[in-house]
Amino acid sequence: MFVTGELSIGYNFKTKKAAPIPATDKFKITLYGRYQDDTVVYDNVIEAGNKVIASIGKVQLHGTGPKVQQCRLLASVDKGDTEIMVDKLMDDWKVGERIFIATSGHWAYNSDYATIKAYDSATGKLTLTAPLKFYHFGDAASTESKYKYAKTLDLRSEVVYFGRSVLIEGDSKETDADWGG
């Protein structure tokens, strides 16, 4: 997508203010393109790719997400687990939305993407639709005070909520899965 004028999603032109897409609604842009397709080129100098939103104009995306978008694991989880413990009272984390659990080890690729099956806001127990692929460290309290040389480092895995009312994604049917979007 090449924007030379203005692309506005969730903006009220009369009031000239953001009017975010409500969490109950969804706006999705799907980017299509194959690795071997031609790329978007600016002034015969800059190649931007072919599965992008490129702009020399104005792009405004105003959506809504949860009040709390990320937290830490409150208990460790093993490969194969389908339940994790996170903060309580995150009522706007919705069933069917995706989360990301960051690695807690040395390998950057030992992260998990998961889909929420259930969430109990009274206990903080979040149930996933599929088993985790990796171990993730968690603890009820920050690890900052437990380690002599890690006073400013919390080692617990982060859990990030991906549910948004505005979504930009790559075409999932593309056979070259690592290409763009």
Residue 43 in tokens: 């002034």
Give the residue from 37, 64, 91 where a domain finishes: 64
- Residue of 129, 126, 130 whose CA lies nearest to 138: 126
Task: Give the CATH number of the domain where residue 83 resides.
Answer: 2.40.30
Hey, which residues does 159 pair with through a beta bridge? 71, 101
Quick one: pLDDT at residue 63? 80
Kindly give the pairing relationship between strand 6-9 and strand 58-61: parallel
User: Looking at the structure, do residues 59 and 82 belong to the same domain, yes or no?
Assistant: no
Kindly give the pairing relationship between strand 83-85 and strand 125-128: antiparallel
User: Looking at the structure, do residues 72 and 133 belong to the same domain, yes or no?
Assistant: yes
Note whether residue 82 is domain-resident: yes
State the total domains in the chain.
2
Note whether residue 38 is domain-resident: yes
Note whether residue 174 is domain-resident: no
| pTM, rounded to two decimals | 0.69
User: Looking at the structure, do residues 18 and 59 belong to the same domain, yes or no?
Assistant: yes
Phi, psi of 111 (to 5 degrees): -110, 160
User: Looking at the structure, do residues 45 and 97 belong to the same domain, yes or no?
Assistant: no
Q: Contact 116/82 with Cβ under 8 angstroms?
A: no
User: Looking at the structure, do residues 70 and 125 belong to the same domain, yes or no?
Assistant: yes
User: Looking at the structure, do residues 24 and 100 belong to the same domain, yes or no?
Assistant: no
What are the average pLDDT values for consecutive 10-residue runs of the chain, which has 181 residues?
Answer: 79 75 77 78 75 81 82 95 92 89 89 95 95 93 66 81 81 63 58
What is residue 120's three-state secondary structure? strand
User: Looking at the structure, do residues 23 and 110 belong to the same domain, yes or no?
Assistant: no
What tens digit of pLDDT does each residue of 87-121 get?
887 888 889 989 999 998 888 889 999 999 999 98
Provide the residue range defining the domain that includes 23.
2-64
